[in-house]
Structure 1
Amino acid sequence: MTNQEQKSSRSFAGIAGIVAAATLISKVFGLIRQQAIAAAFGVGAAATAYSYAYIIPGFLLILLGGVNGPLHSAVVSVLAKRKQQEAAPLVETVTTLVGGILLLVTVAQVFLADTIVDIVGHGLAENTRAIAIQQLQIMAPMALFSGLIGIGFGTLNAANQYWLLSISPLLSSITVVIGIGILALQLGKNIILPEYAFIGGMVLAWGTLAGAILQWVVQLIVQWRLGLGTLRLRFDFQAPGVQEVIKIMTPATISSGMMPINVATDLYFASPIPGAAAGFNYANLLVQTPLGIISNIILLPLLPIFAKLAEPENWPDLKLRIRQGLLLTACTMLPLGALMVVLSVPIVQIVYERGAFKQDATQLVSSLLVAYGIGMFVYLGRDVLVRVFYALGDGQTPFRISTFNILLNIVLDYFFVQPFGAPGLVLATVGVNCSSMLMLLWLLDRKLNGLPWREWSVPIFGLFGGSVVTGFVSYGTLFGLQQLLGTTGLIVQLIELSIAGVVGLVVFGAIASLMKIPEVNTFMIRVRQRFFKK
């Protein structure tokens, strides 16, 4: 390995360490938030209504306002190629444009809340519908703040500020937990009663909005200190840098904007299934906790690198970086997905089964977790490839693929919901992600004048085989421990889950080491040096 490669790997691992620590803290608070919601509201009216009301505000906050979202990716792709003194005018102009558009979206949500809830919440009970409408009107301003947060994340990422990007989402979790805590102190055990569902729903909505505002304020302070833009209005929309951001941002945003259509389609088919909507939220949180951490570790350092290697003369290096991203994705997501599949029941029991969350809810959420676990690799692998297209200045290709996949999702939902129930809707999403990843690879092969298919596919299939072995070993370990120790008691369940998970990961680590994949080995060495150096 050359000195430059060693320096690059060391830098990548150093950034990954910062991102991993900050994202872990953020995800832990996110898990605590979801545990608080589960204990207080279970899969009752307040939590179910929130699942529907949060579709559009949550989508905007997570995708437009999230790390690795289209606004973040577009801003990074442009700023990474420019001098720092050019950043403030560009950021202020883009903020003016995006803020104006999203202000209109905010107003539209307030006045059309009942129509939106009726569309996505087909068949909701009247009480649940009323709660969802009020929640959506409260959370509507998140549309505006999501755009401001997304632009700020891109600006800070381009300036190599990684800690705040990864840790600031915990602010949303803190405000929701505080709200539920205050409500629990006032109502005590009565918080789970149906007559208090409306109050609980309002607490969830106001807590979520407060968290988004707080996240933006903290981020804005750092931007100002770095001289990367203020709240000044600028209307220089024809500036070259702004036009480049718009060129990437517009199709990327529209493409991401189609995700609520897929979510709404899933919820339409799920609405006749009791508790399915809330179950999706609980299962998705369990998947997003590790996935979000690893996604940030892989994508945050790679996105500026992709952008700097976008010129044709740098494509050989770009292909190496794409391979690195995909192999790191496979090495992390495949074994974690296998553990999600075979350990779903004890995971859900340990995290959620208390208060209003009973055994029937555990069965629903664990079945959904199995389906989510199957698709973890393609979910993140698709995101890696989408960021390559953004770095190349091509937002149209992901947009066209997303358009096609809306129709595919509807078809798969229709055929999968009958035989599989609620998990069938998650399997439909997995199918859509598989389709997206294959199409992106095929088109990238044409765009970059060929990809080394064998060099990429052989280690990925090897890691897939290792993850299958991991699943069998973990399940066998869990079964043996349950026969020995039983299945009752939180401590017993936690011990069994921990041992089964660790044994499986050790087996996978041994298999991966035997495969001697250079990117994975180098990355792990650098991470160990960072965290365990004397």
Structure 2
Amino acid sequence: MSSLKRTAIWITLLALLVKLSGFLRESIIAKQFGANEYTDGYLLAFSFITLVLAVISGGFNNVFLPLYIQKKKKDPEAAEKNANGIMNATVAIFLIVTVIGYFFAPSFVPIIFGNMTPMTETVAVKITKIFFLFMSAIALNGILDSYLQGRRIFVPSQISKLLATLMGAVFALLFSDVWGIYSLAYGFVFGIILGIVLMFFYLQKNGYRWSPTFAVDKEFRQTFLVLLIPSLLNSLVGQMNMFIDKMFASGTIEGAVTYLNNASLLVSIPHTIYGTTIAAIMFTLLSEQVDDQRKFQQTFFTGMELSLMTLMPIAVGLLFVGDAAISFVYERGRFTAEDTHNTYIALLFYLPLIITQGLQYIVSKSMYAQGKTAIVLRISVTTIALNTLLNYLFVKSLGYPGLALSSSLVSFYYLTACTISVYKGFEQGEAKKLFWLIVRVSLPTAIMAVPLYVIKYWTPVGHWYSLLQLAVLVPIGVVFYIVGTYFFYRDGFYRLLRMVKTKQRAV
């Protein structure tokens, strides 16, 4: 278990580094290009490639990894043959997709993204064509990630993600005068290729040998294809909702896509890092304990407890320091104080996502461990219709912030529906434990919020330079939350403290 924790810690640190490099990239975009039609076009095109990556890394991995591991235990040679066959076939399919996408991008991009300004459309089409040229490389990057996980090699995959993000930032700094906004796309592709080289190196070092074959065992192929479709659809849903949001945003004000993107990036840091750790530890525990109801319930509750205790204060804290954080990261060059304010408005409506998506990691993993993939898919599909409807209703009255509100409401619905499904199989009294957990974590969070509100709005601190505000408000919030937790939820306080000490020893 200590080895698993060490792995989780390294992955968490690398995930944090990836997110910080994402902020570096967005900060450079803000400085070099501001928030305008050019950045909107880039972000619309980039959202499409993010969709492809999510489907491959999520949907493909959820099916391939367990099948590959099972086959490897029985027949290692056949497992490697199947792996090569599937990889080669996938790359070949995406070569065909490359040709189709490159030549037809001017036709389908305007249809997908709806009302765009002429300049936004021009940028979105050109960057989409750049991405399609290298679609096979992007797909291969996601597939190699699964192979590495199958061999318990985790670090190169995170470094690959880091390279893709960092190279975008580096190219924007070095070549923006030559290529403009397109330098970001070239940098991203260059980073993807570097990541492929790195992952192949580690695979070869671990004994992997590539072979030019498309052959796959009949049983393996049939099982893979049967499971792949629902898995891909499930991975597609979340990204589709983000995609729909940007389609609606492109028809509001100039810079709206950028405001939503910058706000969601800040909001995504806590639950993304937390989810990376959960994926390494909690899913394993839940899968091991699925036949022991009591242990399964306790592990599930522990995951929910840890999620709420870490993510609820972060969400409430960003209510008071979010504007300073946005200003510190983005406000320079062409990104003005007005852009900061517009991004902060979107952030306010996104804040519930920190809690709901963090909790969703636990709920979803427990359902996957129990084999409830079909139920997860059915619930996921309904979120697309709900998100589209809410976007249509809110964007008329609230503009682009309504899209952030819609995302939060849809996430709450998704979490609630999945949680109800999980608790149907639990013993009576477990739901009551969850209710009181929410109450007990809310009390110290409220104790933290009161002094932050007073200091932020009733003292000169709220007018200080953004970094100084963060330096004052964040430590105060941490201290008040820790003290409040000690007095109002001492059991949870000690459990969290023991976990932190255990991780420190593991490092």
Mark yes or no: TM-score above 0.5: yes
After superposition, give the CA deviation of every residue in 1:418-439 in whole Å (9 maximum; x if it has no partner). Answer: 3332221111111111111111
Of the three residues 104, 107, 112, the one matched with 2:99 is 107
2:501 alignment counterpart: 525
Query: Are 1:487 and 2:479 counterparts?
Result: no
Q: How far 1:150 sits from its partner (Å)? A: 3.2
Q: How far 1:135 sits from its partner (Å)? A: 0.5
Q: How does 1:23-38 map onto structure 2 within 5 Å? A: 23-38=15-30
Q: Is the 8 A contact 2:328 2:467 kept in 1?
A: yes
Structure 1 residues 246 and 330: alpha-carbon distance in aligned structure 2, compared to 1, 3 A threshold: farther
Q: Is the 8 A contact 1:33 1:173 kept in 2?
A: yes
Q: Is the 8 A contact 1:70 1:253 kept in 2?
A: yes
Structure 1 residues 238 and 381: alpha-carbon distance in aligned structure 2, compared to 1, 3 A threshold: farther
Of the three residues 43, 55, 72, the one matched with 1:64 is 55
Give the 3-state SS of the residue equivalent to 1:272 in structure 2.
coil
Give the 3-state SS of the residue equivalent to 2:180 in structure 1.
helix
1:210 alignment counterpart: 190
Q: How far 1:365 sits from its partner (Å)? A: 0.6
Q: How does 1:248-267 map onto structure 2 within 5 Å? A: 248-267=227-246
2:163 alignment counterpart: 171
Query: Are 1:416 and 2:394 counterparts?
Result: yes
Of the three residues 267, 270, 295, the one matched with 1:317 is 295
Q: TM (normalized to structure 2)? A: 0.89
Letter aligned with residue 256 of structure 1: S
1:508 alignment counterpart: 481
1:123 alignment counterpart: 115
Letter aligned with residue 524 of structure 1: V
2:305 alignment counterpart: 327
Structure 1 residues 54 and 29: alpha-carbon distance in aligned structure 2, compared to 1, 3 A threshold: same
Q: Is the 8 A contact 1:135 1:201 kept in 2?
A: no
Q: How far 1:469 sits from its partner (Å)? A: 3.2
Q: In structure 1, what is the Cα distance between the partners aligned to 2:495 and 2:132?
A: 44
Q: How far 1:389 sits from its partner (Å)? A: 3.1
Q: In structure 2, what is the Cα distance between the partners aligned to 1:450 and 1:223?
A: 48
Unaligned runs of 5+ in 2: none
1:280 alignment counterpart: 260
Q: How far 1:289 sits from its partner (Å)? A: 2.9
Letter aligned with residue 315 of structure 2: G
1:4 alignment counterpart: none
Give the 3-state SS of the residue equivalent to 1:114 in structure 2.
helix
User: Higher mean Cα deviation, 427-436 or 110-119?
Assistant: 110-119
2:271 alignment counterpart: 291
Query: Are 1:222 and 2:202 counterparts?
Result: yes
RMSD: 2.8
After superposition, give the CA deviation of every residue in 1:294-340 in whole Å (9 maximum; x if it has no partner). Answer: 22122223334444444xx3444333332233222222221111122
Q: Is the 8 A contact 1:60 1:142 kept in 2?
A: no
Structure 1 residues 438 and 45: alpha-carbon distance in aligned structure 2, compared to 1, 3 A threshold: same
Structure 1 residues 293 and 486: alpha-carbon distance in aligned structure 2, compared to 1, 3 A threshold: closer
Give the 3-state SS of the residue equivalent to 1:161 in structure 2.
coil
After superposition, give the CA deviation of every residue in 1:268-309 in whole Å (9 maximum; x if it has no partner). Answer: 332222211111221122122333222212222333444444
Q: In structure 2, what is the Cα distance between the partners aligned to 1:486 and 1:316?
A: 49
Q: Is the 8 A contact 2:447 2:484 kept in 1?
A: no
Q: Is the 8 A contact 2:82 2:217 kept in 1?
A: no
After superposition, give the CA deviation of every residue in 1:92-113 in whole Å (9 maximum; x if it has no partner). Answer: 3442454444444433322331
Letter aligned with residue 333 of structure 2: G
Q: TM (normalized to structure 1)? A: 0.85
User: Higher mean Cα deviation, 41-50 or 162-171?
Assistant: 162-171
Structure 1 residues 375 and 239: alpha-carbon distance in aligned structure 2, compared to 1, 3 A threshold: same
1:3 alignment counterpart: none
Query: Are 1:160 and 2:152 counterparts?
Result: yes
Q: How far 1:173 sits from its partner (Å)? A: 1.8
Q: In structure 2, what is the Cα distance between the partners aligned to 1:327 and 1:142?
A: 43
Q: Is the 8 A contact 1:76 1:304 kept in 2?
A: no
2:357 alignment counterpart: 379
Query: Are 1:73 and 2:62 counterparts?
Result: yes
Q: How far 1:353 sits from its partner (Å)? A: 0.5
Q: Is the 8 A contact 1:279 1:364 kept in 2?
A: yes
Q: How far 1:506 sits from its partner (Å)? A: 2.3
Q: How far 1:244 sits from its partner (Å)? A: 4.7
Structure 1 residues 509 and 239: alpha-carbon distance in aligned structure 2, compared to 1, 3 A threshold: farther
Q: In structure 1, what is the Cα distance between the partners aligned to 2:134 and 2:50?
A: 8
2:41 alignment counterpart: 49
1:453 alignment counterpart: 431
1:301 alignment counterpart: 281
Structure 1 residues 519 and 161: alpha-carbon distance in aligned structure 2, compared to 1, 3 A threshold: farther
Q: Is the 8 A contact 2:462 2:469 kept in 1?
A: no
Q: Is the 8 A contact 1:478 1:497 kept in 2?
A: no
Q: Is the 8 A contact 2:271 2:357 kept in 1?
A: no
Q: Is the 8 A contact 2:267 2:353 kept in 1?
A: no
Q: Is the 8 A contact 2:163 2:194 kept in 1?
A: yes
Q: How far 1:394 sits from its partner (Å)? A: 4.0
Q: How far 1:28 sits from its partner (Å)? A: 1.7
Q: How far 1:479 sits from its partner (Å)? A: 3.5
Letter aligned with residue 277 of structure 1: V
Structure 1 residues 247 and 392: alpha-carbon distance in aligned structure 2, compared to 1, 3 A threshold: farther
Structure 1 residues 172 and 263: alpha-carbon distance in aligned structure 2, compared to 1, 3 A threshold: same
Q: Is the 8 A contact 2:40 2:120 kept in 1?
A: yes
After superposition, give the CA deviation of every residue in 1:209-258 in whole Å (9 maximum; x if it has no partner). Answer: 22222222212221222235636434325334x55554443212112223
Q: Is the 8 A contact 2:452 2:477 kept in 1?
A: yes
> How much identity, in percent, do the aligned residues show?
20
Q: In structure 2, what is the Cα distance between the partners aligned to 1:134 and 1:451?
A: 56
Q: Is the 8 A contact 1:40 1:356 kept in 2?
A: yes
Q: Is the 8 A contact 1:77 1:303 kept in 2?
A: no
Q: In structure 2, what is the Cα distance between the partners aligned to 1:512 and 1:245?
A: 47
Q: In structure 1, what is the Cα distance between the partners aligned to 2:121 and 2:137?
A: 25
Q: Is the 8 A contact 1:319 1:451 kept in 2?
A: no
Q: Is the 8 A contact 2:456 2:462 kept in 1?
A: no
Structure 1 residues 107 and 381: alpha-carbon distance in aligned structure 2, compared to 1, 3 A threshold: farther
Q: Is the 8 A contact 1:97 1:235 kept in 2?
A: no
Structure 1 residues 402 and 40: alpha-carbon distance in aligned structure 2, compared to 1, 3 A threshold: same
Q: How far 1:530 sits from its partner (Å)? A: 4.0
Q: In structure 1, what is the Cα distance between the partners aligned to 2:96 and 2:421?
A: 35
After superposition, give the CA deviation of every residue in 1:79-132 in whole Å (9 maximum; x if it has no partner). Answer: 565655635344334424544444444333223312332123322121221121
Query: Are 1:425 and 2:403 counterparts?
Result: yes
Q: In structure 1, what is the Cα distance between the partners aligned to 2:166 and 2:133?
A: 19
Give the 3-state SS of the residue equivalent to 2:335 in structure 1.
coil
Q: In structure 1, what is the Cα distance between the partners aligned to 2:85 and 2:362?
A: 28
After superposition, give the CA deviation of every residue in 1:393-434 in whole Å (9 maximum; x if it has no partner). Answer: 443222211211111111211222233322211111111111
Letter aligned with residue 28 of structure 2: A
Q: Is the 8 A contact 1:379 1:430 kept in 2?
A: no
